Structure 1
Amino acid sequence: MGLMDRLRGELIDIIEWTDDSRDTLAWRFPRHQNEIKSGAKLIVREGQAAVFVDKGRLADVFEPGTYTLDTANLPILSTLEGWKYGFESPFKAEVYFIRTTRVVDQKWGTKNPIMLRDPEFGPTRLRAFGTYGFKVSDPATFLDTLVGTSGDVDTGAITDQIRNLIVARFTDVLGSAKLAALDLAANVDELGGFVAEKMADDMAEYGIEVVNLLVENVSLPPAVEKLLDERTGMGVIGDLGAYTQFQTAQAISKAAENPGGGAAAAGVGLGAGLAMANQMGGAMMGGAAPQQAAPAPSAPPPPPDAVSFHVSKSGQSTGPFGLDALRQQAASGDLTRETFVWSERLGEWKAAGEVDALRGVFGATPPPPPDA
Structure 2
Amino acid sequence: MGIFDKIKEKLSNEFIDIVEWLDYTEDTIAHRFERYQNEIKNNAQLIVREGQAAVFVNEGQLADVFTPGTYTLNTQNLPILTTLKGWKYGFNSPFKAEVYFVNTTLFTDEKWGTKNPITLSDDRFGLVEIRAFGTYAFKVADPGKFIVDIVGTDNNFTNFEINEHLKSLIATRFTDTVGEANLPIELYAANTTELSDTCREVMQPEFLSVGISLERFFIENVSMPEDLKKEIFEYSRIDKIDLDKLTKFKTAKAIEAAATNEGGTAGAGMGMGMGFVMAQQMGNMMNPQMGSQQQAQQRQQPPAAAVPPPMPQAVQYYYAMNGAQSGPVGYEQMQSLFASRTINRETLVWKAGMDGWKALKEVDELKSFLGGNTPPPLP
**Farther off after superposition, 235-244 or 116-125:** 235-244
**How many Å separate the matches in 2 of 1:244 and 1:76?**
90
Structure 2 gaps of 5+ residues are 1-9, 271-316, 319-324, 329-347, 366-375
After TM superposition, give the deviation of residue 133 of structure 1 in Å: 0.7
1:252 shift after superposition: 7.3
Correspondence for 1:30 among 34, 40, 60: 34
Separation in 2, partners of 1:8, 1:288: 95
- Whether the aligned pair in 1 keeps the contact of 2:18 and 2:44 (CA below 8 Å) is yes
Asked if 1:137 corresponds to 2:128, the answer is: no
Secondary structure at 1:195's aligned position in 2?
helix
Residue number in structure 2 paired with 1:148: 152
Aligned pairs for 1:19-168 within 5 A: 19-81=23-85, 83=87, 87-168=91-172
2:341 is equivalent to residue 285 of structure 1: no
Between the aligned partners of 1:26 and 1:57, the Cα distance in structure 2 is: 17
Distance in 2 between residues matched to 1:267 and 1:7, nearest whole Å: 112
1:209 aligns to what SS in structure 2? Answer: strand
Normalised by the size of structure 1, how large is the TM-score? 0.65
Give me the identity figure in percent: 45
Distance 1:9 1:105 in 2: 44
Deviations 1:230-249 (A, max 9, x none): 44566788624425645775
Q: Give the whole-Å Cα distance in 1 for the aligned partners of 2:240 and 2:91.
A: 82
User: For the residues of structure 1 that align with 2:144 and 2:265, how far apart are their CA atoms?
Assistant: 80
Find the aligned partners of 2:135 and 2:184 in 1 and give their Cα distance. Answer: 23
2:120–2:128 contact (8 Å) kept in structure 1:
yes
Between stretches 147-156 and 185-194, larger displacement belongs to 185-194
Report if the CA contact (8 A) 1:70-1:86 is conserved.
no
| Shift in alpha-carbon separation, 1:28–1:16, aligned structure 2, 3 A | same
- Per the alignment, residue 222 of structure 1 pairs with 226
Q: Deviations over 1:304-343 (max 9, x none)?
A: xxxxxxxxxxxxxxxxxxxxxxxxxxxxxxxxxxxxxxxx
Offset from partner CA, 1:84-110 (integer Å, 9 cap, x none):
897333211111100111111111111
Question: Which AA in structure 1 matches 2:359?
Answer: G
In the superposition, the TM-score normalised over structure 2's length comes to 0.64
Matches within 5 A, 1:206-245: 206-232=210-236, 239-243=246-250, 245=252
Matches within 5 A, 1:345-360: none
Residues 32 and 232 (structure 1), Cα distance of their counterparts in 2 relative to 1, 3 Å cut: same
Contact 1:71–1:86 under 8 Å retained in 2: no
Could you tell me how far apart the structure 2 residues matched to 1:85 and 1:251 are? 109
What is aligned with 1:174? 178
User: 2-side partners of 1:252 and 1:8: how far apart?
Assistant: 107
**Computing the radius of gyration over CA atoms, which structure comes out larger, 1 or 2?**
1
Worse-superposed segment, 181-190 or 230-239: 230-239
Partner of 2:342: none
1:204 aligns with 208
Amino acid at match of 2:181: A
1:290 maps to a residue whose letter is: E
127-136 or 239-248: bigger deviation: 239-248
Residue 79 of structure 1 and its aligned partner are, at CA, apart by 3.5
Distance in structure 1 (CA, Å) of the matches to 2:268 and 2:121:
42
Aligned residues: 282
Residues 129 and 218, structure 1, Cα contact 8 Å, conserved in 2: yes
Taking the aligned partners of 1:251 and 1:90, their CA distance within structure 2 comes to: 102
Partner AA of 1:22 in structure 2: E
Partner-residue secondary structure (3-state), 2:357: helix
